[in-house]
Amino acid sequence: MTTATTTQEAPSAYVPSAEVIGAVLTTAERPPRPSAASAAMAFGWRAMLKIKHVPEQLFDVTVFPVIMTLMFTYLFGGALAGSVTDYLQFLLPGIMVMSVVMTTMYTGVSVNTDIEKGVFDRFRTLPIWRPAPMVGYLLGDMFRYTAASVVILVLGLILGFRPGGGPAGVVAGVAVLVAFSFAFSWVWTMFGLLLRSEKSVMGASMMVLFPLTFLSNILVRPETMPGWLQAFVDVNPITHLVAVVRGLMQGDVGGGELVWVAGWAAAFIAVFGSLTMWLYNRK
């Protein structure tokens, strides 16, 4: 019996010529690396597109503020001020602050959700300014803060709210509120990176937000509280924020309160912004 063996020569490796390589490669200049501002704006636009595709995300800045305003106005108006209209002049700037500040916690929830989906693994590989994804979240949420403020203001005007500071005072009050909320949101971005689930982020946020908002001058004047509680209310950053927003809308704001709000905002960015980026770089 005979066996026949056949051998096949291995194909030689193809080596493209210089002309072929030159025809494939582009001769144009390499596009410049995106600036920090353009990268942050791109991620901010991404946050806006998420709202476009899931409009239910706007419920917390449309339906929730309306419910809060109506409930507190008609529940406490007659008992605390003797008149719903009189109480509304005091309440509306405070309820606007409460609604917007409570909305800030969803920044941390969004960050945590993207981490669990693996989106941030892709972001970390991009040649962009490292804080751009975080700043983009906050820029997108500034639209939500503005929307909540406008909804409450329109409802208040319908119910009888008349700001003594006029349109300029109202715009200035909303601008201060949105700017402070941008700084305050860095607290929740840190929670979003630090905690392991979105439910944990929401639970921790509520534990912080409820004392800060209710133990303040939003619903009642601090002079009516016990002395030991006034000591906390006087140093509460939300108290100073409400005083500024209320003063601007009524045309009577003190410079000292503005300094307090600016100081708290700078502290939130310096401390929690730094901790956020430290966790983002190492998580």
pLDDT, mean of residues 234-244: 94
104 three-class SS:
coil
Closest to 213 (Cα-Cα) out of 75, 66, 60, 98? 98
Cα of 50 vs its chain's centroid, Å: 14
Q: Encode pLDDT of 127-147 as tens digits.
A: 888 888 888 888 888 988 999
Write down the pLDDT at residue 247: 93
Q: What percent of the chain has pLDDT over 70?
A: 94
Question: Is 12 part of a structural domain of the chain?
Answer: no
Question: Is 30 part of a structural domain of the chain?
Answer: no
The C-alpha torsion from 104 through 65 and 178 to 143, rounded to 10°, is: 80
What whole-number distance in Å separates Cα of residue 280 and Cα of residue 274?
A: 10
Cα of 249 vs its chain's centroid, Å: 23
State which residues form the domain around 90. Answer: 35-282
The pair of structure tokens assigned to 186 is 């860095």
Write down the pLDDT at residue 122: 82
What whole-number distance in Å separates Cα of residue 218 and Cα of residue 95?
A: 6
Question: Is 277 part of a structural domain of the chain?
Answer: yes
DSSP category for residue 238: H
Q: Encode pLDDT of 146-187 as tens digits.
A: 999 999 999 999 999 999 989 999 999 999 999 999 999 999
Question: Is 11 part of a structural domain of the chain?
Answer: no
The model's pTM is 0.82
Q: Encode pLDDT of 4-60 as tens digits.
A: 455 555 556 777 777 777 677 766 677 777 888 888 898 888 888 877 777 777 777
What whole-number distance in Å separates Cα of residue 82 and Cα of residue 97?
A: 23
Number of domains in the chain: 1
